[in-house]
Amino acid sequence: MIDKNYCMSSFLTFRRIVCPDKDFKDGIKHIDYVDYYKDKRIPVKNANDIAKAYKAIIESVSDRKIGILLSGGMDSACVAAFLKPGTDAYTFRFLNGTFGAEELKRAEYYAEKNQLNLHYVDINFDVVNKNLPLLMKRKGAPVHSIEPQIMEAALQAKSDGVEQLICADNCDLEFGGYDKMLSKDWNYDDWKKFYIFLDPKEVLNDPVDLDEIFQKYKLPNNKIDYLRFMKEIFGPESCASYQNANDTAGMKYHILDPSEMTELIIPLDLARIRSGDSKYLIRELFKKCYPGFPVPEKVPMPRPVDYYFKDWQGPNRLEFKNNIKVSLLTGNQKWLLYCLEQFLKMVQSEM
């Protein structure tokens, strides 16, 4: 079914087109998350289980030339600890290394400790705009702001002969890293207000009410099953971004995420997370892998969207309101508007 207004509102609200049967235009079918590990996940209960699972997963692809997306966070650092010396590692470097400098230093430490062959992937807005059209064309939709840089890393890795990239994107979802989302048992209305990335009513001339998506997770007493919502609505959006970027670059194999191939079979200790010990099992694993090195706090994948859009005046297509207060939006919200407008232009002119 073609429903451009629904698709626009869904992208701004959820950063994905939630309904699989709705698309922007005839001949354009959007691609969403594909669960390659359904019914194949390794059950884990503790840090030792995770370590054994990571080791087994990496050994299962030992016949391939692999590379890792290595950040300064604990997730990819833990995966890196199980790689063979000499494995290629790819670390993003922005604005000549001035943006996210501390994270860059930590990634360099992990690479040195594990004897990895570190490559810098230099990212600026020109790189973003170079990769954006191909990413959107393949996905059949606008994309997450991390996709252009992941694609650039995949292109660089491919040119180095890497056949499969490894990441650790799903750690936060599986092991309790989203501490703000898990900070309380949410009321329905509060969760909606918290979760919506950019309210379509504020920026679109013909917004679509997507309350029906949230309603599927509503509980008695105006509560919401936010844990199931995170698994079914939020999680696929992030994983699909890595998949699309990797596959658009033409890597030989789909991206491999050991944290996505594991499944925590005991409930998360929400009290522990809410006391400040988020992702406690990964913290424990990190301490085993890097004894004495400070455990880094969670930060999103770096991308200087505030810098990219500091002078941007907003969209000017007819689908958007003409009085959007762009200066009040975050860099990530500006990206959503910018990317959606670029996609609409591409649909109109090329697809």
**Each residue's pLDDT tens digit, 161-196:** 999 999 999 999 999 999 999 999 999 999 999 999
For residue 252, the 8-state DSSP code is S
pLDDT band at 97 (very low <50, low <70, confident <90, very high): low
Give CA angle at 48 (113, 232), nearest 5°.
Answer: 100
In sequence order, what are the residues at sequence separation of 6 or more whose Cβ sits closer than 8 angstroms to the Cβ of residue 67?
A: 87, 88, 89, 90, 157, 160, 162, 164, 165, 166
Predicted local confidence at residue 112, as pLDDT: 96
Predicted local confidence at residue 351, as pLDDT: 47
Q: How many helices (H) and strands (E) does the chain have?
A: 16, 8
In sequence order, what are the residues at sequence separation of 6 or more whose Cβ sits closer than 8 angstroms to the Cβ of residue 250?
A: 154, 158
Please identify which residue in the block is written with the tokens 């191909």: 134
Task: Using a pLDDT cut of 90, give the percent of the chain over it.
Answer: 86
Predicted local confidence at residue 228, as pLDDT: 96
Predicted local confidence at residue 350, as pLDDT: 62
Residue 264 C-beta-side C-alpha neighbours within 13 Å: 19
**pLDDT tens, residue by residue, 68-85:** 999 999 999 999 999 999
Q: Tell me what the pLDDT averaged over the chain comes to.
A: 94
Distance CA 80, CA 63 (A): 17
Predicted local confidence at residue 143, as pLDDT: 97
**Structural domains present in the chain:** 4-349 (3.40.50.620)
**pLDDT tens, residue by residue, 258-316:** 999 999 999 999 999 999 999 999 999 999 999 999 988 766 676 789 989 999 999 99
Task: Return the HEC string of 208-227.
Answer: CCCHHHHHCCEEHHHEECHH
**pLDDT tens, residue by residue, 105-132:** 999 999 999 999 999 999 999 999 999 9
In sequence order, what are the residues at sequence separation of 6 or more whose Cβ sits closer than 8 angstroms to the Cβ of residue 111?
A: 70, 80, 89, 91, 117, 118
Q: What is the mean pLDDT of residues 133-159?
A: 97
Task: Using a pLDDT cut of 70, give the percent of the chain over it.
Answer: 97
Q: What is the mean pLDDT of residues 237-246?
A: 94
Q: Is the pLDDT of residue 95 over 80?
A: no
**pLDDT tens, residue by residue, 310-346:** 999 999 999 999 989 999 999 999 999 999 999 999 9
Closest by Cα among 200, 241, 263, 147 to 9: 200
For residue 62, the 8-state DSSP code is T
In sequence order, what are the residues at sequence separation of 6 or more whose Cβ sits closer than 8 angstroms to the Cβ of residue 126?
A: none
- Which tokens go with 131? 């990769």
- Which tokens go with 161? 């002969």
Tell me how crowded residue 4 is: count the other CB atoms within 10 A of its CB: 16
Q: Is the pLDDT of residue 94 over 70?
A: yes
Give CA angle at 233 (229, 238), nearest 5°.
Answer: 125
Q: At 320, is the secondary structure helix, strand, or coil? A: strand
Q: Is the pLDDT of residue 203 over 50?
A: yes
First-last CA distance in the chain = 17
Lowest mean pLDDT among 35-39, 229-233, 342-346: 35-39
85 close to 63: Cβ distance less than 8 angstroms: no
From its phi and psi, is residue 96 left (phi > 0), alpha (psi between -120 and 50) or beta?
Answer: left
pLDDT band at 33 (very low <50, low <70, confident <90, very high): confident
321 CA to centre of own chain: 28
Distance CA 282, CA 47 (A): 7
